[in-house]
Structure 1
Amino acid sequence: MKKIYVLDTNVLLQDPNAVFAFQDNEVIIPATVLEEIDSKKRLADEIGRNARYVSRLLDGFRSQGRLHDGVTLENGGSLKVELNHRSFLKMQDVFGEMTNDNRILAVAMNYWTEEQSKPNPRPVILVSKDSLVRIKADVLGLMAEDYLSDRVVSLSEMYTGWVTLKVHPSIIDEFYSFRKLNLSSLPASLTLLPNEFVILKDEMGTAKSALLKVSADGRRLESLHLSNDPVWGITARNAQQRMALELLLNDDIPLVTLTGRAGTGKTLLTLAAGLLKTEDENQYKKLLIARPVVPMGKDIGYLPGEKEEKLRPWMQPIYDNLEYLFDTKKTGDIDKILAGMGSIQVEALTYIRGRSIPGQFIIIDEAQNLSRHEVKTIVSRVGEGSKIVLLGDPEQIDHPYLDSSSNGLTYVVERFKQEAISGHITLQRGERSRLAQLAADLL
């Protein structure tokens, strides 16, 4: 049986192609949604871009007929802009105030009431990213769903970049004898991806273990190329940090993604690796460090001062890590060091979009606040001979229309996990301090 889906504004602002995601069912856009989209189209950020895209998309449908009467979609469904189901009478006693959310709920409620008078009523489902709207719908007895088509994968199922296997001790001995291991030595049911790490542990319970990495072609397991020597004074404190450094210092892997909670060392490790590659080995011409100004694209011109002064509050976490690496003693020393070196550039993400960036070590911090479109725009800017590292915590989303399953960082991790030119590690153990780790666990 076909269904009727009533879309909330936030669904279209998150995914402007959402009208095509409901197969051969009827999609209803309340007139209130058009008003809210119109109020967003002048914004300079991702929300504004999506609002303008939706406006053009709906305008294009007008060539097929009147939107109020409904037009046929390419997937066999239909799309209608609704004007005649806005009566607020049935909701007056429950939600007295006629807010935009309540007006959208009224459309869904009136459709549902109308369908109940038919011999074979179609299900009416309100689709919203707003949990409170879904709760209100439930109070009214309406079916309501979150919009899930934009989700890449749930956080619990996200690719971590490493696995732990318990094997017979003879397999570990074989690795240490030949410094490599054929995949045939491992269970046939195990699927390993290029540049994925494997921790082998003795199934007999002894302390014998080994840390290996899948080759870029995915055919064998090999030893790590790096020793555990300090990188710009930073030494890996756990297995995942060592895996991260292996990827960060491998010039054959131009795309690296690191995820993990606060205090796991994502930014510090990446900056140390970038400084080594840029300043010591001269592998890259410049170290470019950028963070999104949240919300993404917000005009920072309202802050006082020159561009560097405007950026400082947003970029302060980067400067904190640089001060630690350079072991500065006084306030302002890091600015003098960076000015003297000239090869380290700290930017807001707003300023690197649209550029072509060759021969640079690029670090994008807080990448979980990027949408799919934004992360595509940034990664596609990477020029020849550059390496880009995306960092973030998918559990800490500041963007109003993103979550742990739909943000750009998660999207890149899942889409690139089978590619030989990329590598990913999820850092789990906090190393900032015992207090920070305990706070992350308890709070």
Structure 2
Amino acid sequence: MLRKIYVLDTNVLLQEPHAIFAFQKNEVVLPAVVLEEVDSKKRNMDEIGRNARHFSKLIDQLRAKGKLHEGVPLDSGGSLRVELNHRSFQHFKESFAEMTNDNRIIAVALNLSIEEKEKSNGAKVILVSKDALVRVKADAFGLEVEDFLSDRVVEFDEGYDGFVEVFVDNEIIKKFYKEGGINRGDLTIQATLYPHQFVILKDALGSSSSALGKIEPNGYDIRPFVSDLDQVWGIRSRNVQQRMVFELLLRQDIPLVTMIGKAGTGKTLLSLAAGLMQTEDLHIYNKLLVARPVVPLGKDIGYLPGEKDEKLRPWMQPIYDNLEYLFNTKKPGELDQILAGMGSIQVEALTYIRGRSIPEQYIIIDEAQNLTKHEVKTILTRVGEKSKIVLMGDPQQIDHPYLDEYTNGLTYVVEKFKNQAVHGHVKLVKGERSGLAQLAADLL
């Protein structure tokens, strides 16, 4: 097999510190400027800083195997080398005069590629970057470029929806209602069915007969919904997916619920309504905890004036908007008085969740698509006994610089837990906020 040389950009390591082991028996090259960029990030008190520190320790351990600038063997069968040469800007200066760090990385890959092409059995040089513009610039110089895809948990448009439509003979639908369910053997589909996946039965001959069931934890039996509620705290389900959401949210035997949907599909409102009912009316849970990640689009949270609660208010306003609707408040400050009087509803930033143990609580994590795999793991390992946690978001609206639709924490949880009996998932497809909001979500 022809040997390949992979030149890694800094963002690959800041997204996945173990990326150096993902290239099998090929050579991995780190330009010296990459180490400088990683070093500049390691003091950050966020996920990027954690990954920078983790990679720093990892590469320090590899020094025991030899000199990094000469190359050291990896357990994957390949090798790792820190590249100190091949930094010449001779082939670059006419197109990009400025010696930015991105251009330095491209220059190393370009000079290595030119050198290898002059050899009779030279290796193919590939630049790996998660920065689209770096890939575009490198491609303009004839370099082979790739995105780092090893951290993806799903491929394009292959995500788990949580429900499946099945066209069956009308007799199967009648059997479902008469006997209180059917089993996997009554269906002719070849697709894999998962615990708590919803099944929409439709008449194959086109009549209006239909049925809605859910796969039992054994992955075989299909039964009607346990809950017959389609209205919770004044909120009525407006489509079949919202009805599925209520079934998952009101089931105590499903402690982990995930929801994916565009803006206006009702994710936050449905979750809050179900949480309020089970906390305030049924007293199943002691507290309703609502949290969302603080991912700034402009200035960071530290630049806002006031105490912690005042700083958090702009970030948490979408939660308060939904609570105002549920409590039907009209006057300014009325919601704050209600929440202060109840004492069982807590709106918090995810910044403060590390180190906590959260038992007997109904936990809602909004905007979970902005979480990394590590952050999601941190959150789920905080969940205590008799708690329920709801993760929701829109993977197409990501504000995190190193995440995308296929590598974010929400998508990661959906795919990793879809075969587990403790988990249920629904993809909401129809917007219910308004006709304009739905049209904007589809067109823009």
TM-score range (shorter-chain normalised) is over 0.9
Matched residue, 1:66: 67
Matched, 1:262 2:256: no
User: Alpha-carbon deviation of 1:300?
Assistant: 3.1
Matched residue, 2:103: 102
Matched residue, 1:230: 231
Matched residue, 1:14: 15
Matched, 1:318 2:326: no
What aligned pairs does 1:332-347 form with structure 2 within 5 A after superposition? 332-347=333-348
Q: Distance in 2 between matches of 1:300 and 1:442?
A: 32
Matched residue, 1:75: 76
Q: Distance in 1 between matches of 2:35 and 2:392?
A: 36
Q: Distance in 2 between matches of 1:434 and 1:422?
A: 32
Q: Distance in 1 between matches of 2:228 and 2:394?
A: 27
Q: Can you list the C-alpha shifts for 1:364-410, whole angstroms capped at 9, x where unaligned?
A: 00000000000001001100110000010000000000000000000
Q: Distance in 1 between matches of 2:116 and 2:230?
A: 70
Matched residue, 2:216: 215
Matched residue, 2:204: 203
User: Alpha-carbon deviation of 1:119?
Assistant: 0.7
Matched, 1:400 2:397: no
Matched residue, 1:145: 146
C-alpha change, 1:83 and 1:338, in structure 2 (3 Å) is same
State the secondary structure of the residue aligned to 1:184: helix
User: Alpha-carbon deviation of 1:441?
Assistant: 1.2
What aligned pairs does 1:77-226 form with structure 2 within 5 A after superposition? 77-187=78-188, 189-226=190-227
Q: Distance in 1 between matches of 2:31 and 2:191?
A: 49
User: Alpha-carbon deviation of 1:302?
Assistant: 3.2
C-alpha change, 1:148 and 1:190, in structure 2 (3 Å) is closer
C-alpha change, 1:96 and 1:367, in structure 2 (3 Å) is same
TM-score normalised to structure 1 length: 0.98
State the secondary structure of the residue aligned to 1:12: helix
Cα RMSD of the aligned pairs, angstroms, is 1.2
Q: Can you list the C-alpha shifts for 1:344-379, whole angstroms capped at 9, x where unaligned?
A: 000000011221111100000000000000000100
Matched, 1:409 2:395: no
Q: Distance in 1 between matches of 2:100 and 2:293?
A: 32
Residue identity over aligned pairs, in percent, reads 67
AA aligned to 1:328 is T
Q: Distance in 2 between matches of 1:272 and 1:22?
A: 47
AA aligned to 2:322 is N
Matched residue, 2:274: 273
User: Alpha-carbon deviation of 1:303?
Assistant: 1.9
State the secondary structure of the residue aligned to 1:79: strand
- Which runs of 5 or more structure 1 residues have no equivalent in the other structure? none
Matched residue, 2:24: 23
Matched residue, 2:251: 250
Q: Distance in 1 between matches of 2:300 and 2:350?
A: 12
Contact 2:230 2:246 in 1 (8 A): no
With 150-159 and 207-216 compared, the bigger mean Cα shift is at 150-159
Contact 1:355 1:381 in 2 (8 A): yes
Contact 1:154 1:404 in 2 (8 A): no
User: Alpha-carbon deviation of 1:228?
Assistant: 3.9
State the secondary structure of the residue aligned to 2:441: helix
Contact 1:27 1:79 in 2 (8 A): yes
Q: Distance in 2 between matches of 1:227 and 1:385?
A: 23
Q: Distance in 1 between matches of 2:239 and 2:274?
A: 16
- Which runs of 5 or more structure 2 residues have no equivalent in the other structure? none
Equivalenced residues, count: 442
TM-score normalised to structure 2 length: 0.98
Q: Can you list the C-alpha shifts for 1:190-229, whole angstroms capped at 9, x where unaligned?
A: 3211000000111111111000000112120000112244
Q: Distance in 2 between matches of 1:49 and 1:342?
A: 35
Matched residue, 1:351: 352
AA aligned to 1:32 is V
State the secondary structure of the residue aligned to 1:96: coil
Q: Can you list the C-alpha shifts for 1:232-288, whole angstroms capped at 9, x where unaligned?
A: 000110000000110000000000000000000000000000001100110000000
Q: Distance in 1 between matches of 2:71 and 2:335?
A: 61
AA aligned to 1:55 is S
Contact 1:228 1:236 in 2 (8 A): no
AA aligned to 1:397 is I
State the secondary structure of the residue aligned to 1:426: strand
Q: Can you list the C-alpha shifts for 1:16-74, whole angstroms capped at 9, x where unaligned?
A: 11000000100000001111111111111111111111111111111111110110001
C-alpha change, 1:392 and 1:307, in structure 2 (3 Å) is same
Q: Can you list the C-alpha shifts for 1:62-93, whole angstroms capped at 9, x where unaligned?
A: 11111101100011100001101111111111
Q: Distance in 1 between matches of 2:11 and 2:311?
A: 30
Q: Distance in 2 between matches of 1:147 and 1:190?
A: 29
Contact 2:166 2:189 in 1 (8 A): no
Matched residue, 2:41: 40
AA aligned to 1:252 is D
AA aligned to 1:313 is P
Q: Can you list the C-alpha shifts for 1:312-355, whole angstroms capped at 9, x where unaligned?
A: 00000000000000000111111110000000000000011221
AA aligned to 1:285 is N
C-alpha change, 1:380 and 1:340, in structure 2 (3 Å) is same
Contact 2:163 2:426 in 1 (8 A): yes
